[in-house]
Structure 1
Amino acid sequence: MGKADKIKVGERIKQVRKKLGMNQSEFGRNLDEISPIRQSTVREWEAGNNFPSMERIIKIAKLGNVSIDYLVTGSESTIIQIPQKIAKKIDQILLETGKWSKAFEKLRDISRFDSDYKIWKSKVEKPFNICIAYLNPLTRPFVEVIDD
């Protein structure tokens, strides 16, 4: 990511913070109460000198009630949606494996052999990425389960 892109992301982070009516210190504390983010770190993000980790981008998006896509690209994307049938299959994989990281390989089987997945795949872009987003606890809140 180039300097110009970092500056744009920083400007959007600043907009989110200002919309929330917080100074940089308050914003850092609200992003992570256990290990608060320093005011100087927030300042570096906003200036485009540094870029937050993906985990922190997710926290900023949640706190500011904006999409990750908006923070990173500046555009509002549509809500990520996954059919209930597929979501239930992913939930079952999680129950069987116990960890989302271990469930990844089983998810590949769904993408290859499941008839519901194949039908859905013909209707959306990047369905496997949507499944991964649903599988991952950090990004799952950004995926909406819809009726089939």
Structure 2
Amino acid sequence: GKTTLLNRWLRERQDLAVIINELGDIGIDQHLTGESRVPVTLLSGGCLCCVIQGTLSSTLRNLFMARKNGELPPFSTLVLETTGAADPFGVTAPLEQDPWLQKRFFCQSVLTVVDALAGTRSLERHPEWLEQIHAADALLLSKTAQC
């Protein structure tokens, strides 16, 4: 689903920076993205929308400054891969509330990946996923070939 899409983008585009959010203290997804010249930052230990929300603001500042100082390759697009439990409105809040970030970043779109095989069953177990669908500018159905 999400990691497969992210890997595709990493192969096709070099103007990306990526932030991957993991609930646990040990991240796995950043290793699944393979070899890439694109900067990948891991934010672990909780969900961006609530537990480590302040960490996103500081990470965005650090990425911007590292790019400006030539420490990172230029990027025009930042991809934020959140956990499956993330509230999109909570994740985008720092962009709306921080004047410094507002001048440098904006949320172009929210993309939600939905597992076509487990979709409705998953929604019954995880009602917070309805918020992700509601907030999405676009939905991507994964595993459709297996349906």
Identify whether the pair has TM-score above 0.5, normalized to the shorter chain: no
Q: TM-score, normalised by structure 1?
A: 0.24
- Structure whose residues are more often helix by fraction: 1
Higher alpha-carbon Rg: 1
- Structure whose residues are more often strand by fraction: 2
Q: TM-score, normalised by structure 2?
A: 0.25
